[in-house]
Amino acid sequence: MSSFGIWFHVYLTCCLPLYTVCTTTAEDWKEQWDYVTVRPGARMFYWLYQTTSPGGINNAPLVMWLQGGPGQSSTGMGNFEEIGPLDISLKQRNTTWQVPFYIMTESYGGKMTAVIADQLIQAISEKKLECLFVGVTLGAPFIHPEVTLQSWIEYAVSNALIDNTEAYTLTQQFWKIKGFILTNQWEQAYYSMLAFGGLFQKYTNYVDMYNMLLWGTPNGRAVVSEVVNKGLLISSSNERALWTLMNGKIRKKLKIIPKNIVWGGQNESVYVSLNGDFMKPAVKTVNKLVSQTSLQVAVYTGQLDIIVNTLGTLKWVSTLDIYGKYSKVDRQPFPCPQQIKNTCGFVKTFKNFSMFWIMNAGHMVPKDNGAAGLEMIK
């Protein structure tokens, strides 16, 4: 991909930040932010870093980024923890701003993206919307909750995180979840999933679900309690630091945040409101995008991710209509930039579908291995 300027919208409600890529230094950007009324009583916050590319916004690619959760904020997590111009310490993030970068979604955002893409294609075909829509990237996507949760057990056993006795107990708990799914009792499946997650964390001595090599957060048990009570797809790393940054320096900088609004305050309410949807799969929608449209569909998975691990991702990918022919294609390695001897990842492509395996990264690929993410986009 060639170098372009950046249109960077971040929405506080974690819905629609828009990105392109850029090669300028972070000091050159122009910013603006405000609230937009989307319906009576509801406003959405946006934050724009405007392009400095000579070609301007008309020649820059546009990308829609959806944070996961559900309920996580792109303004904070996506912006400062992963792909914005500054990191959580307000230092320049070179992998975003000085080299090309393209990414669309992460985690539960993958399920939302599949559905939104389907609706967008329909609106375009009906001429309700004019848009050159070309592709989606589903990062560590929570597309098939059932197979994802079951894969935790196999992943944990194979990586010495649990033993066979613990695996048996977890399997019994998993079958309770599956029973609720089979009878379309989605809320019961959700609450049973929380119990399953709490037991899994206890058995693994509270391993970081986003990166299997990490333990030992200072408030490990408090973090786990919050994960179990508020949902599994939240970040357990840098959470307090990010909250402090957003409700401190960033709040003062923006100057327009109402006094009754606290950054991150919507997380739990959004998550709980979606508990009836959380365990529902979106495989059929992804299959439709791959098989019935010309949309470029890419899926990536982090080697060290537990919460949406490679095993579970491969299992639902194997149910796609194109899998028979896709499976016969050879997987290709790609090197890390300036580290030719190291492998950044692997890629396998058939027609409009690609899958990327990213090495040395967990759930949050841009944060763990930004260089590999950049190579993937190229």
Active site residues: 107, 305, 363
Pairing outcome for strands 42-50 and 296-302: unpaired
The one-letter code for the residue type at 275 is: N
Q: How far apart are CA 277 and CA 273, in angstroms?
A: 9
Residue 79: which of 141, 5, 17 has the closest Cα?
17
Q: How far apart are CA 9 and CA 26, in angstroms?
A: 15
The one-letter code for the residue type at 191 is: Y
Element spanning 32, H or E: strand 30-39
Q: CB neighbours of 14 closer than 8 A, spacing ≥ 6? A: 66, 67, 69, 70, 71, 72, 73, 74, 75, 78, 266, 270
Q: How far apart are CA 262 and CA 78, in angstroms?
A: 17
- Pull the structure tokens for residue 163: 């033993």
Preceding amide of 61 cis, omega within 30: no
For the CA atoms of the chain, what is the radius of gyration?
20
* Sheet arrangement for strand 296-302: 135-139, 296-302, 353-358, 339-350, 332-336
Tell me if 171 sits within 8 A of 153, measured CB to CB.
yes
Q: How far apart are CA 367 and CA 378, in angstroms?
A: 18
Q: How far apart are CA 147 and CA 312, in angstroms?
A: 6
CA quadruple 141, 144, 148, 149: dihedral sign: positive
Pairing outcome for strands 30-39 and 42-50: antiparallel
